[in-house]
Amino acid sequence: MHIRLLAVGDRQPSWVDEAFSTYSERLPREWQFRLDLIPTVRRNKNDKSRQAMEAEGELILAKLGQSEQVVLLDECGRQLTSKALAGKLSDWQIDGRDLCFVIGGPDGVADSCKQRADFTWSLSQLTLPHGLARVLFAEQLYRAHSLHTGHPYHRV
């Protein structure tokens, strides 16, 4: 099983890239983990339409493989403990399909992306900046892996 993160937003502060790399480099090599970025669609200052979100949704869907299992990160998703995430990760590994996590743009994701998702996961009920969500995702993925393998990183 290969795992990747597909995220809207191509420019992040250096601390985001550094923290994300810290955790993603610890992930097992057999996952061939990678980050694929989609540029944020330009928005007009006062534009309240869903046009940019729909355009980003089309770009997301175009990058998803037909057989890929999709986990959407969304504030309306299901919250998981770290141990529950480790269990889900084991289930996804047993399933055997490649796994793609998706973080949408600043306005969320289009309904078409929500319909394509096999599972919707909420990192928190808090509203998080996209860069911080990226870092938190990578840390929790590493924590789930450490729980699964009995590594002492998770000490609770």
- Residue-number span of the structural domain to which 107 is assigned: 3-38+53-149
Banded model confidence at residue 45, pLDDT cuts 50, 70, 90: confident
Q: How many structural domains is the chain composed of?
A: 1
State residue 32's pLDDT score.
96
State residue 48's pLDDT score.
67
Edge-to-edge strand ranges of the sheet holding 69-79: 34-38, 3-8, 99-103, 69-79, 119-122
In a domain, 10, yes or no: yes
For residue 43 the two structure tokens come to 């928005």
State residue 116's pLDDT score.
97
In a domain, 47, yes or no: no
Banded model confidence at residue 44, pLDDT cuts 50, 70, 90: confident
State residue 10's pLDDT score.
80
In a domain, 125, yes or no: yes
In a domain, 44, yes or no: no
State residue 153's pLDDT score.
74
CB atoms near residue 52 (< 10 Å): 19
